[in-house]
Amino acid sequence: MTTRTHVRLTPLHSVTRPADGSAVLTALTGVYERGWQPADVLHVTRRSLGAGEVKLAIWAILYDARITRAAERAPQRWLEHLHAIAELGAQPSPSGATALQRTAVTALWRRLPRLASECPPPSQWPAHRVTPNIDAHAAPAAAVDAKVLSRIRGLLAKAEGTEFAEEAETFTAKAQELMTKYAVTAALVESRDCTTSTVVQSRRIHLDNPYIKEKALLLSEIAGANRVRSVWFSTLGMASLVGTPIDLEQTEMLFTSLLVQATRAMQDEARRGGGPDAASSKSYRRAFLYGFAIRIGQRLRMTQTSATAQAALESAVSVEDLLPVLAQQSAAVDRAFEQLFPTTTATRTSPVDAAGWYAGQAAAERASLRNGTRSKASPHPAAICG
């Protein structure tokens, strides 16, 4: 991305670690060295512990950022995490936490497993950035045009904001079409530059209850339709995506928007004549999201095919000439995925409520894309780790 995040951290009078928070900060340093980033740490703390421990975690993350001079040294992705955490508000010193809370946080962070590294930990940051705010893992060609992203986000915001299904469909379709054309054009430019290799990155997405498995399936379907590989860490409540920067952006933006649309459609279903008791049951809602996810995946794949053909036409190349370019890009993604996650297993969701399934499929028809559908409907299993 070409947009940059600036993080303002209140200067410390001293960088000496407070004695009552020393063990917490040491544990945080260790988990960073095992591939975790600030938002990952806060997510798993929220998922596993209480509000007091979360406040302590926020304090530790921001205090560590000052000690390590993150504002001057950290990669862009790390700064984006810190910016979001800093917006949660100032947190008290560790003396405001109980000894039990400090012990719980320390124990949790010490037992967290190693994750595939997405950017360098603080121990590998330079003394000062050579170029301010540039992600150390990103190549210049990997940046996604900020203007294109702004247009995409604007279209998806309109899709989420409208109460009319046809309008949401039109806005979402246009967003998918715009990003697909942009991605195809970028792939063609990259293929013509013999000095440039395909840039592949990974990105973690955090998911929360309820219906977390169904949300993971929706993410997997969207990722698969956009040439992105995904792996789901069930015990941590997070997924890792592997793909080109453009495809990663498209996947994350579509997932955020379609999850909002699916939730709204599920709530609308509960208010309709089908009966709020049935539509509000846990099994019904699980099935609704499952059916929604599968249908969205089918429609996105068809839309991707159509938009790719259109992009080829506008770029004055044939689809036959374009397909090897995209295949080469997909092969690079596959290699990176296998290197990061050599051991994964496939999973399928257990049987679901039939009424919820069909309602979710119908909602996907109304809420998503206007292009045609596939006649063959087979679930696309998410990869599982943990």
Same domain, yes or no, for 179 and 301? yes
User: Does the residue 317 lie in any domain?
Assistant: yes
User: What's the rounded mean pLDDT across residues 18-46?
Assistant: 95
| Distance, CA of 244 to CA of 230 (rounded, Å) | 13
User: Does the residue 109 lie in any domain?
Assistant: yes
User: What does the pLDDT look like over 271-318, one tens digit per residue?
Assistant: 764 555 555 688 888 888 888 888 888 888 888 888 888 888 888 888
| Distance, CA of 41 to CA of 98 (rounded, Å) | 20
- Residue (of 32, 191, 184, 206) closest to 114 by Cα position: 32
Same domain, yes or no, for 246 and 354? yes
- Residue (of 206, 191, 187, 293) closest to 247 by Cα position: 187
Same domain, yes or no, for 195 and 59? no
Same domain, yes or no, for 236 and 305? yes
Structure tokens at 196: 């440039």
Structure tokens at 288: 């609704």
Same domain, yes or no, for 358 and 259? yes
User: Does the residue 14 lie in any domain?
Assistant: no
Same domain, yes or no, for 198 and 280? yes
Please say whether the dihedral angle defined by the alpha carbons of residues 272, 278, 282 and 283, taken in this order, is positive or negative.
negative
- Sheet containing strand 201-206, edge to edge, reads 201-206, 238-243, 229-233, 383-385, 345-346
Range of the domain at 372: 140-385
Same domain, yes or no, for 290 and 165? yes
Only one residue has tokens 């949660």, namely 88
User: Does the residue 235 lie in any domain?
Assistant: yes
Q: In 3-state terms, what secondary structure has residue 353? A: coil
CB–CB of 229/383 below 8 Å?
Answer: yes
Only one residue has tokens 């992105």, namely 228
| Ordered alpha helix ranges (H), 315-347 | 319-340
Same domain, yes or no, for 321 and 247? yes
Same domain, yes or no, for 72 and 147? no
**Does the pLDDT at position 199 exceed 60?**
yes
**Does the pLDDT at position 376 exceed 60?**
no
| Distance, CA of 293 to CA of 231 (rounded, Å) | 16
Which of the listed residues 97, 124, 151 is the one where a domain comes to its end? 124
**Does the pLDDT at position 377 exceed 50?**
no
pTM: 0.82
List Cα–Cα distances, 164 to 48, 77, 159, 160, 303, in angstroms.
39, 36, 9, 10, 21
User: What does the pLDDT look like over 142-185, one tens digit per residue?
Assistant: 467 888 889 999 999 999 988 877 788 788 888 888 888 889 88
User: What's the rounded mean pLDDT across residues 218-226?
Assistant: 93
What pLDDT, on a 0 to 100 scale, did the predictor assign at position 56?
A: 94
Integer distance in angstroms from the first to the last C-alpha of the chain? 31
DSSP for 280-328, please give it.
TSHHHHHHHHHHHHHHHHHHHHHHHHHHHHHHHHHTT--HHHHHHHHHH
User: What does the pLDDT look like over 252-270, one tens digit per residue?
Assistant: 999 999 999 888 888 777 6
User: What does the pLDDT look like over 112-153, one tens digit per residue?
Assistant: 999 999 999 999 999 987 664 444 444 434 467 888 889 999
Beta bridge partners of 206: 238
Structural domain count of the chain: 2
User: Does the residue 135 lie in any domain?
Assistant: no
Q: From the CA atom positions of the chain, what is the Rg in Å? A: 22
What pLDDT, on a 0 to 100 scale, did the predictor assign at position 157?
A: 92
What pLDDT, on a 0 to 100 scale, did the predictor assign at position 355?
A: 56
Beta bridge partners of 243: 201
Same domain, yes or no, for 366 and 245? yes
Same domain, yes or no, for 150 and 231? yes
User: Does the residue 105 lie in any domain?
Assistant: yes
